[in-house]
Amino acid sequence: MLELLMRIISGTRRGKLLIEKVDDTTRPTTDRVRENVFNVLANLVKFQGARVLDLFAGTGGYGLEAFSRGAAEVILNDLDKQALKVLKQNCELVHFNGTVLNLDFRVVLEKYRSEKFDIIFLDPPYESDYIQIALDVIVQQEMLSHGGVIVIESGKQLKIPSLVFKNYGRAWLYFVNPNWQPLQ
């Protein structure tokens, strides 16, 4: 396992260095990609007071960045034990004392099925089919607040309606709100 350093880009924890684990099971989201994700999000949602679910948190880059920018509640989840160890270290580095789970994503979605989130991050292993499974549950259970956004990071181009989509090398990013209806 190789450990690199990444940083919190903005907010109250700006500049704090975090550990980024690189191995066969966890692929880091670069600072550049994360910064672009949050630049797009800043035009779509308010971070202050937001409820955030980072379903495949890895080492916590997305969720901890949202925490730094003022999210009121952040739930971080990852099933991988090594990623979880680094995630917990990163939570300590930024003094995050919110919820950290080590569960299968389907269990987390079931646990929070009656709750609403303003931002949901879906960044599963690229070779998995977890995005569609998670999206189906989130939409069916109406887990996204009306003005909320689901941020999807995928290793391939997807055929899903999105507010915005961008490509950064291997990473395809989608910003989705199933409540959004394009103007006719």
157 domain-assigned: yes
170 domain-assigned: yes
Whether the CB-CB separation of 57 and 63 falls below 8 Å is answered with yes
Helix axes 31-42, 61-68, angle to 10 degrees: 50
166 domain-assigned: yes
> Does the pLDDT at position 149 exceed 50?
yes
The larger pLDDT score, comparing residue 2 to residue 9, is at 9
What range does the domain containing 121 cover?
A: 2-176
How many residues make up the chain in this entry? 184
181 domain-assigned: no
What's the CATH number where 32 sits?
3.40.50.150
Q: What average pLDDT score do residues 5-13 get? A: 79
* Distance separating alpha carbons of residues 21 and 86, to the nearest angstrom: 7
27 domain-assigned: yes
Dihedral of alpha carbons 128, 170, 138, 12, sign = positive
Contacts of 75 (CB under 8 A, 6+ apart): 52, 53, 54, 63, 98, 99, 101, 108, 112
For the chain, how big is the Rg over CA atoms in Å? 15
Q: For 105-146, what is each residue's pLDDT tens digit?
A: 999 999 999 999 999 999 999 889 999 999 999 999 999 999
12 domain-assigned: yes
> Does the pLDDT at position 182 exceed 70?
no
Give the global pTM.
0.90
164 domain-assigned: yes
Q: Comparing C-alpha atoms, which of 9, 8, 35, 16 is closest to residue 171?
A: 35
Whether the CB-CB separation of 149 and 177 falls below 8 Å is answered with yes
State both tokens at 175.
């910003």
183 domain-assigned: no
Contacts of 46 (CB under 8 A, 6+ apart): 118
Q: Comparing C-alpha atoms, which of 155, 115, 121 is closest to residue 52?
A: 121
Q: For 69-110, what is each residue's pLDDT tens digit?
A: 999 999 999 999 989 999 999 999 999 989 999 999 999 999
> Does the pLDDT at position 10 exceed 90?
no
Structural domain count, the chain: 1
